[in-house]
Amino acid sequence: MILIVGLGNPGNKYEDTRHNIGFKIIDEVHNYYEFPPFRKKFDGLYSKKKIFEQNIVIFKPTSFMNVCGKPILNMFNFFKIKNSTDLIVFHDDLDMNFSKIRIKSSGSDGGHNGIKNIIKFFGDEFYRIKFGIKNNFFVEKKIKAEIFVLEKFSNSEILLVNQIKRAIAKNLNLVIKKKSSFINNLPKN
């Protein structure tokens, strides 16, 4: 059993913000593989389906990102997942240029409060896929990070975000197998 989590904040106010890219990726996977409707459980929305001969649970914690670790742990325990290495987390990364993807299997939180909270419950041995959100406007205007992450993507960025989400979903079998080669199949900026 694999638990795939997308990080974001709940509510319409945050719906299409940069910080919610994890939610958007989970939504794309949900639609692409025709998962059953999301169900509420443990301060989140989840769906379960067998794909690639593997039971997959997708989860969007609806607690705020800074306290997402406990709902993820509850879901992890509910489905009796044994290893933290079977946890895959999609999240935004402000230190990476827009649309760049990086994979980590362990390490620090990198200043991301959602990851910091997950590490509190799981330690640092879980799989994370980081989506870069930094752009030139953020760098040139020196916008505060807490403001920038809650802004919406520009129209031109949305086109690439949609292409990347689709490519991630299409190559989910490689993600599940923890193959970094799935990055080679993503659109380039």
Which residues are designated catalytic? Answer: 19
Q: Distances in Å between the alpha carbon of 172 and those of 53, 66, 88, 145?
A: 13, 26, 11, 30
Dihedral sign, CA of 169, 170, 176, 182? negative
| Residue labelled with tokens 């990726």 | 25
d(CA 126, CA 30): 21
DSSP 80-109: T---GGGEEEEEEEEEEETT-EEEESS---
CB 110 within 8 A of CB 93: yes
